[in-house]
Structure 1
Amino acid sequence: MGRYTDDAKQLLQHIGGKENIATVTHCATRMRFVLKDVKKADEKKIQDLKLVKGTFTQAGQFQVIIGNEVSMFYNDFVELAGVDESSKEDAKVAARQNMTWLQRVLAHLAEIFSPLIPAIVVGGLILGFRNIIGDIKLLEDGTKTIVETSQFWAGVHSFLWLIGEAIFHFLPVGITWSITKKMGTTQILGIVLGITLVSPQLLNAYAVSGGAEAPFWDFGFVKIDMIGYQAQVIPAILAGFTLAFLERSIRKVVPSAISMIVVPFLALVPTVLIAHIVLGPLGWKVGSAISHVVYSGLTSSFGWLFALVFGFFYAPLVITGLHHMTNAIDLQLMSELGGTNLWPMIALSNIAQGSAVLAIIYLNRKNEEEKQISIPAAISCYLGVTEPAMFGINLKYAYPFLAAMIGSGIAGIISVGSGVMANSIGVGGLPGILSIQPKHMGMFAVAMLVAIVIPFILTIIFNKKKLLVKNS
């Protein structure tokens, strides 16, 4: 008998039994079920289990938050239930049967960017560190930067750009690879396609938009501009899906005996041609339009309202899974503007959720059982992982969630109103300040303080006034 057998037995019963499970897998903190009938799952009884920190449904999957013990719990559950272990891809495919077309589109988008996020976060931290040592005059009475006074740090500053450039300028390579991986097509072709979008022989699209004359391929009857799409998101997405579509379509009609020779050629060459004639220019215009609309909204006279709405509703957006679309917008803003003023609000929302949990810890400081759940949840939230806090604590009690939303909205107004920009997507909690451009770190620190204090105070007030209080 395993350590978690008793808990697994209760969860199996409340989930609707073995016969209600289509697939089951797990991630870092959660059990992920695709249920044949979600209505058979008794959420109230599941949430009452001591080991369970919360439940929610996202992307067609019924998810049960267990915590760091999830892998051991999963092993005991699978053995007890007698169900086959499922891969995450199997679970995703099964889950899509329960999703709307919009949810499917967003799920695909999330799956494209998820493998890229670690690199993007590293890139953001590197750019932030380079700005601190290279742009802020910290030494000699505020007249010189660290780089200007030390050859060692000057070398570090120059060396780190090698990594930053690899991550952001050549981002299309990662995107096209990720699409081919997700679509089950040939990944090396995706990598080659990405390289053809950022090759050094191509003139950067930003230079072209600045008035530079692009070289061209001359085919006699037609000329094609040799323009690159470094750091561009939309052109890479369009080209990646075109390659995947062509490869899968061609593979269906080409005999297997010659498929290794014919399929890659007939899929890659036309895609590269289409990418430079149609998809690249189209994607550039679409991406520029998106970034212009978002940036204009955030910097207009009504920017405070945009910030309030986004900051207030970002946490509910996470529950629906729609928050994944912000990754593409952030990356587009970074490529167009050299930074993003959207991502700082996401970091502030995470901080606000953690601060609401901090208030719950204070209110239940004599409840040892409650602290076993809330303290790890608050720590993980401040470090950018919000699920244990949101689903295990804040949504359970309701009023902390509202308090966090209000604090996030107000902090968002301060961030946007003061023009805070991040170098890139970063760690979405307290460490997020390392991704903020140095000249904005002071105001972002003020916004962080607001995101900490207001949710904490409001949570205590709501508790005392019994506003939205439940299950307490």
Structure 2
Amino acid sequence: MDYKKIAEELLMDIGGKDNVQAATHCATRLRLVLKDESKVDQAGLDERDEVKGTFSTAGQYQIILGSGIVNEVYKEFIKMAGIDAMSKEEVKTAGTQKLNPIQQGVKLLSDIFVPIIPAIVACGLMMGLNNVFTAPDLFVTGKSLIEAYPAIEGFAAMINTFSNAAYVFLPVLIGFSATQKFGGNPYLGAVLGMLMVHPDLVNAYAYPSVLAAGEVPFWNIFGFEIAKVGYQGTVLPILFASYILAKIETFLHKRVHTSLDNLVTPLFAIISTGFLTFTLVGPLTRTLGDVMTNSLVWLYDTTGAIGGAIIGFFYAPLVVTGMHHSFIAVETQLLADIAKTGGTFIFPIAAMSNVAQGAAALAMFFIIKEQKAKSLASASAISAYLGITEPAMFGINLKYRYPFYATMIGSGVSSAFISFFKVKAIAMGAAGLPGVISIKQEDLWIYVLGMLIATLTTVSMTYVLSKRDWTKDEAKKRNEEQVPSTLNKETL
């Protein structure tokens, strides 16, 4: 391939080198920060055979080229654009500067939680696997697998222990990731998380019963009584505490002499942050987190299908803006306190939205005629059904608009259906077909039926809306053909 020519054409389509602020690439995508995205010739990019799709997110304009191609094109691209090679973090920083405060806040949450999602998903899937072992009537009538085959009971018990690890020690994971994001030492953040789940503290899950019995232990410090209560499975306390830790550490680094910095700074940063966490930050944010989680649970439990329909209908637009990442904190909290909440209702709704994205792309495979777009539609439909929606959403559905509207309708209808039956997941995983392993056993067939409803509704609406678009285009064409030759569009 002529990589130099490809880079030259791409540079021309995005508005020239003067429009490029920063550039990097990942395994498949050219990731650009542009000064003015309105200068992009989207039609020109869509016509390029090398371009598999484009989308804009978090201040970056991304062009999908494919593995093996993108790195070679990137080398030529930065030469022509007259810019230096940059890391992903540098480009992320440049892109963040273009975001408004709300978008920056959502991106901050995303940057903190995305690195720990593999750990949460791995443990979540093990919870699902444990559900397969212990759920009665799933494979054997009247019995669970471990009842039918006692030899695997020990293995199931081991899997169950493994599955709890990420949630029991969740503050350690978040402390590491958040402190690093806030500019502090991530290992100090991990230590702070360890303090919050130390075995000497009353376990957060046992706290209500201990409080009711009047047996809460305290530290007595200068006349102040500080409750010795842990923060297992919490999210907000460690987020705020990590921010304070990073700022105290940065403050001390600037003022402590270098000969003492490695001794004094970590010591005072941990002591001061730990004291603030157990006296002020922890109790306040624990209450705030409970209010946020309980509010969503109240909305879901009280409004039922209506609340599910609203969340499902708007879930896809939230994904486009990136604001769906704000649900991660709530969803993690729901799963960490699963004995009380029964699981998360957000995951099944997200799965309905993902399946609807795949259904819309599948319908577009039969509607559109252009071969390149058909190929992208079929591949992205499969990907969306497996839980990865970006190719379908940005490559097909948003591009043609009406499939995206059909997606919102299909997601809303199917989410209302599963919400009516209170379908919940006991773990996080791939939100789509593979998500069956994460769903409560008694809700499994309702979940599967919900996916079928999402597919049928979305496919039907995509066809209906596509016919409407064709009718409008044909009417416009006929009107133009009927215009007398002596007149032009400007005159009309």
For the criterion TM > 0.5, the same-fold answer is: yes
Cα deviation for residue 96 of structure 1 reads 2.0
| Alignment-derived partner of residue 281 in structure 1 | 283
User: One-letter code of the match for 1:126?
Assistant: M
Cα deviation for residue 172 of structure 1 reads 0.8
- Relative to structure 1, is the Cα distance of residues 347 and 67 closer, same or farther in structure 2, using a 3 angstrom cutoff? farther
| Alignment-derived partner of residue 335 in structure 2 | 334
Mapping of residues 386-465 of structure 1, within 5 Å: 386-465=389-468
| Alignment-derived partner of residue 303 in structure 1 | 304
Q: Is the 8 A contact 2:29 2:63 kept in 1?
A: yes
CA offsets 1:134-163 (integer angstroms, 9 cap, x no match):
132446631x21112333321121111232
Mapping of residues 119-138 of structure 1, within 5 Å: 119-138=119-138
Match 2:353 to one of 349, 356, 380 = 349
CA–CA distance in 2 between the matches of 1:242 and 1:338? 33
- Relative to structure 1, is the Cα distance of residues 39 and 358 closer, same or farther in structure 2, using a 3 angstrom cutoff? closer
| Alignment-derived partner of residue 384 in structure 2 | 381
| Alignment-derived partner of residue 242 in structure 2 | 240
Cα deviation for residue 469 of structure 1 reads 7.5
Cα deviation for residue 256 of structure 1 reads 2.0
Partner secondary structure for residue 258 of structure 1: helix
| Alignment-derived partner of residue 101 in structure 1 | 101
Q: Is the 8 A contact 2:342 2:426 kept in 1?
A: yes
Q: Does 1:255 align with 2:257?
A: yes
Mapping of residues 265-276 of structure 1, within 5 Å: 265-276=267-278
Normalised by the length of structure 1, the TM-score is: 0.93
User: One-letter code of the match for 1:396?
Assistant: K
| Alignment-derived partner of residue 490 in structure 2 | none
User: One-letter code of the match for 1:118?
Assistant: P
CA–CA distance in 1 between the matches of 2:343 and 2:19? 47
- Relative to structure 1, is the Cα distance of residues 315 and 139 closer, same or farther in structure 2, using a 3 angstrom cutoff? closer
- Gaps in structure 1 of 5+ consecutive residues: none
Q: Is the 8 A contact 1:216 1:226 kept in 2?
A: yes
Q: Is the 8 A contact 2:53 2:64 kept in 1?
A: yes
Q: Is the 8 A contact 1:462 1:469 kept in 2?
A: no
- Gaps in structure 2 of 5+ consecutive residues: 475-492
User: One-letter code of the match for 1:111?
Assistant: D
User: One-letter code of the match for 1:120?
Assistant: I
CA offsets 1:393-421 (integer angstroms, 9 cap, x no match):
11111111111111000010011111111
Q: Which moved more, 1:62-71 or 1:388-397?
A: 62-71
Partner secondary structure for residue 232 of structure 2: coil
- Relative to structure 1, is the Cα distance of residues 357 and 243 closer, same or farther in structure 2, using a 3 angstrom cutoff? same
Q: Is the 8 A contact 2:171 2:193 kept in 1?
A: yes
CA–CA distance in 2 between the matches of 1:27 and 1:315? 24
Whose Rg is larger? Answer: 2
CA–CA distance in 2 between the matches of 1:117 and 1:468? 45
User: One-letter code of the match for 2:89?
Assistant: E
Cα deviation for residue 338 of structure 1 reads 4.5
CA offsets 1:272-306 (integer angstroms, 9 cap, x no match):
11111112111211111111110110111x22222
Q: Does 1:264 align with 2:260?
A: no
User: One-letter code of the match for 2:53?
Assistant: G
CA–CA distance in 1 between the matches of 2:472 and 2:440? 40
User: One-letter code of the match for 2:160?
Assistant: W
User: One-letter code of the match for 2:357?
Assistant: Q
CA–CA distance in 2 between the matches of 1:468 and 1:6? 39
Matched pairs, number: 467
- Relative to structure 1, is the Cα distance of residues 315 and 470 closer, same or farther in structure 2, using a 3 angstrom cutoff? farther
Cα deviation for residue 449 of structure 1 reads 0.7
Cα deviation for residue 315 of structure 1 reads 0.8
Cα deviation for residue 9 of structure 1 reads 1.6
CA offsets 1:200-229 (integer angstroms, 9 cap, x no match):
221122312233522222335222211111
CA–CA distance in 2 between the matches of 1:41 and 1:449? 38
Q: Does 1:162 align with 2:166?
A: no
| Alignment-derived partner of residue 198 in structure 1 | 197
